[in-house]
Structure 1
Amino acid sequence: MKTLKWFFLSIVILSVGCSRTTEQNSKIIVAYVTSWKTATLPDPTHITNINYAFGHVNETCDGIRIDNEARLRQIVELRKKKPSLKVLLSIGGWGSGRFAEMADSATFRRSFAADCKRVIDEFKLDGIDIDWEYPTSSLAKISSTPRDTENFTLMLGDIRTAIGKKKLLTIASEAGAKYINFKHICPYVNFVNIMAYDISNTPLHHAPLYRSELTEELTCEMAVNAHIRAGMPANRLVLGIPFYGRGLSSMPKPLGYRNIKNLSQEDYSRQWDSLAKVPYLIDSTGNIVCNYEDEESIREKCAFINDFGLKGAMYWEYDGDDTEGTLRKAVFEGLKQ
């Protein structure tokens, strides 16, 4: 019944929604790859798109500053191994500010958009991803104004005009589909990456697919529903998957999948939530200490993506996977690339 309900809801939205068409029918796999110097240079085999994290609005609010430009050039060079690979610069991230100041000025917006075009040309990129977290909110200790939502739309319109129709323009969106007017941005963006993680803290799941006793306000299914109701067609939505866990402060850090899988089985035991379709760890006393993602939960999420006609999957971030590429291979196989 879930599948039929969502299928018909998606069809209704698509019939009256925005007009921008998608460039391909096959599923996409977006990997966020960080600028950190210690991060692994990615293997593009199981990826269709790389979002390089991050660029930022510059100090004068009229252009772009890129973290570790040399690494971005290395990422672009991966096209020699996989010519079809799409590489985008992701601008923003948690705590990355000056969006409000830039977007509130028509002059700054146009200069910023022109710099997006410059960056695309200079680094031979396939487009721009905007990760403003979040318009109208100062939760990440950045500036904001009540005009941000409207200015966000104006900014995307200016970027689209500057970079042209053939380049990709995407955004990262909060799971609840707040802060953004999706009906208004729909003509400008190719697709939306839903950050369907960090929804709750342990002992509750932070990226549950469906509801259970261990979920709180949102699930991945509810996040997709919220975006469709807000005006974004299902086939323009990309479901975000975390390659990391969230745990109690007593848990060893970091909590990337590569670290979680190597935790002592004498100290921690994997459990499976058959309703939420995600795993979690308990300690020797039975307390939940970590909520995370593994091969089984990714298979469930990929089945959901296929069943509901979503555009594809995104994950944060590539270097959280193990050296064998267990999770990225699971995404690739699950989406039948």
Structure 2
Amino acid sequence: MKKILIIIAFFCLLVISSACTPDNDDNDGDDPIVPTLSVSSERLSINIGETGKIDASISGTTEMVTMLFTSLDTAVATVDATGLVTAVSEGETVIEVTISEYPDVKTTVTVTVIDAEKEAEQEAQEIIAATIAELDAMIPATLSGNVELPRFMRGYSIQLTWTSSKPSAVSTTGLVIRRKTDQSVQLQAVLKHMKTGIEGAFTKTVTVEKYELRNLAGKKPVFAYYYQGSTLSDDDLDKIDVINYSFGYILNNQLSLTHLTNLANLVNKAHSKGVRFVISVGGWGASGFSPMAANPENRAKFVQSVVKAMNDYALDGIDLDWEYPTRPIGSDPGLPADKVNFTYLVKELREALDAVDQEYLLTAAFPAGSWGANNYYEINKINDCLDYFHLMTYDMISYDNPSRTSHHTNLYASQYASSSTASADSAVKAYVAAGADKSKITIGGAFYGHIGTVSGNTSGNGMGLPSVNFTEAINFARIHTEYLTNPAFTYYFDDVAKAAWLFDGTTFISFDDPASLAFKCEYVIDEGLGGIMFWQLGGDYNGVLVSAIYNALNK
């Protein structure tokens, strides 16, 4: 029994001893714990000259250790002891991050150095190239009208500076002046990228298409006085042969057109329809003629300015509207010498215009009646120089105060004319007698009427009654919309005078209408006159009167 107890005690001691002995794989307490190293991002992109920070951290130890940063290519980027990376040149390098006390513990960060300036330049060059392609597609090879030459493109990121090899054909603002022959023009633009200053160049050679004018041979041309600011429609241009644009002024003895701001565009529009575009100079109340025509030096200055304007704007002639030589007008007192000076002016203009282009028109506006024909002008001496005499066969009313109602634009005299010689027919005969070729004479249509309030026997047709305001004018558009459709007004037509009027017992209106204009056109044909003119296009209503003239001359 004693022996058995000793054996049991031995085995118990052996078990206890085994339980207290550690595993062979466990740390015996002599080897250190190895830390771990990590970064917040394994890639870093920096522009040249800029810096970026590597965010590195150590975990797994409380031991004081030292972190090391090393660039594998310092030509691309350098790094300091704190992990601050400085970009040196375009490229890519690796920054190694290690622990001094544990060399085998490391990680890496790939650093890409970007040349931002180079990239911006490349982007700018790509934008410029795309803009040049856009310009090439935008600008036609053949120009028949104004062309857009933008100052900025692509949201103002590209600035353009234009030059033209022939500014008189295509200006740097895109204004196109067509002429009687084709013109070759090289357009150039310097394109500047506003952010980088990078520049590019655009060049394109374009052809400015010539214009072709209608042949007036054998025609009875229609001359339209056209006042600035009025509408000039394509439909009207189809029925008009010559535009007399009103008015150029005389300033310092020179033709001034600076106030006609849309002149070049209007010329192009007329030419696109084959219509001639003439500048009418002067007008009622305009000063400048008398002192300009008074001596050779002043006339020469004016003539030179006219020739220059013809070239600058591709005009087709000039119309003189001096109302009237020898009469006070504006600030001009009127001189007896005006009569002969007008002759000198016409002759000198003719000579100068013919020296440049014999197709230039030289015309003038004249008052209706024998008094003007004989006392204001030397008709027989200017006949050979003028292409057309525009007889203003309207406003043929009494200007007494009070005046009396009458026709104002009648073809023939009648009991309702202001006088026995107040008619277009009488005016034609007076100018022919004074020396004008009948084939050069145009008579005038009025796209306006005279309106007045009358007193007296208001139960009749309104003719011959006193009116204190009959000199007032009203355009045909208003007559058509406000009076012709008003049932209170009676429409009258004088079959002798070939003239119309309206009357409601109080208001009297004398005017041209399609019927009276048709008779005028018939007269032009029958009498062998040069054509017909009218004042002014802007007074028409939806082309009613222009169409009446066109249809009558082309029936």
Do both share a fold (TM > 0.5)? yes
1:76 aligns with 2:295: no
Q: 2:169: which partner in 1?
A: none
Q: Percent identity?
A: 29
8 Å contact 1:95–1:142 — kept in the other structure?
Answer: no
Segment of structure 1 superposing worse, 135-144 or 219-228: 135-144
Question: Residues 100 and 336 from structure 1, CA distance in 2 versus in 1: closer, same or farther, beyond 3 angstroms?
Answer: same
Query: Counterparts of 2:439 and 2:488 in 1: how far apart (Å)?
Result: 43
Q: 2:425: which partner in 1?
A: 221
Give TM-score scaled by structure 1 length: 0.86
SS across alignment from 1:248: strand
Q: How many residues align?
A: 307
State the shift of 1:259 in Å.
0.6
Q: 2:156: which partner in 1?
A: none
Trace 1:95-106 onto structure 2 (pairs within 5 A).
Answer: 95-106=285-296
- Structure with the higher strand share, 1 or 2: 2
SS across alignment from 1:70: coil
1:192 aligns with 2:414: no
Question: Residues 140 and 273 from structure 1, CA distance in 2 versus in 1: closer, same or farther, beyond 3 angstroms?
Answer: farther
Query: Counterparts of 1:141 and 1:205 in 2: how far apart (Å)?
Result: 31
8 Å contact 2:287–2:329 — kept in the other structure?
Answer: no
8 Å contact 2:451–2:473 — kept in the other structure?
Answer: no
Q: Which runs of 5+ in 2 are unaligned?
A: 1-214, 399-403, 454-468
Q: 2:412: which partner in 1?
A: 210
Give the one of 337, 340, 343 matched to 1:153.
Answer: 343
Trace 1:56-71 onto structure 2 (pairs within 5 A).
Answer: 56-58=249-251, 60-61=252-253, 63-66=254-257, 68-71=259-262
Query: Counterparts of 2:536 and 2:509 in 1: how far apart (Å)?
Result: 18
8 Å contact 2:406–2:417 — kept in the other structure?
Answer: yes
Q: 1:237: which partner in 2?
A: 441
1:313 aligns with 2:532: yes
**1 or 2 for the larger relative contact order (CA 8 Å, sep ≥6)?**
1
8 Å contact 1:97–1:143 — kept in the other structure?
Answer: no
8 Å contact 2:406–2:510 — kept in the other structure?
Answer: yes
Q: 1:280: which partner in 2?
A: 501
SS across alignment from 1:261: helix
Q: 1:327: which partner in 2?
A: 545
Deviations 1:96-119 (A, max 9, x none): 111110101110001100111001
Deviations 1:152-195 (A, max 9, x none): 00011111122113311000011115111110111211111100
State the shift of 1:68 in Å.
3.4
Deviations 1:239-294 (A, max 9, x none): 1111000010579x8611111011242332211111111110111x3x56110010
- Structure with the higher helix share, 1 or 2: 1
Q: 2:303: which partner in 1?
A: 113
Q: Which runs of 5+ in 1 are unaligned?
A: 1-21
8 Å contact 1:207–1:241 — kept in the other structure?
Answer: yes
State the shift of 1:80 in Å.
5.0
Query: Counterparts of 2:478 and 2:497 in 1: how far apart (Å)?
Result: 23
SS across alignment from 1:245: strand
8 Å contact 2:445–2:534 — kept in the other structure?
Answer: yes
SS across alignment from 1:263: helix
Runs of 4+ in 1 over 6 A off after TM superposition: none
Query: Counterparts of 1:127 and 1:295 in 2: how far apart (Å)?
Result: 29
State the shift of 1:143 in Å.
2.8
Deviations 1:110-132 (A, max 9, x none): 11001110010001011111000
Give the one of 243, 250, 263 matched to 1:50.
Answer: 243
- Please tell me whether Structure 1 or Structure 2 has the larger radius of gyration of its CA atoms: 2
User: What amino acid maps onto 2:524 in structure 1?
Assistant: I
State the shift of 1:78 in Å.
1.5
Query: Counterparts of 1:198 and 1:69 in 2: how far apart (Å)?
Result: 27
Question: Residues 166 and 87 from structure 1, CA distance in 2 versus in 1: closer, same or farther, beyond 3 angstroms?
Answer: same
8 Å contact 1:76–1:87 — kept in the other structure?
Answer: yes
State the shift of 1:57 in Å.
1.0
Q: 2:475: which partner in 1?
A: 256
Q: 2:218: which partner in 1?
A: 25
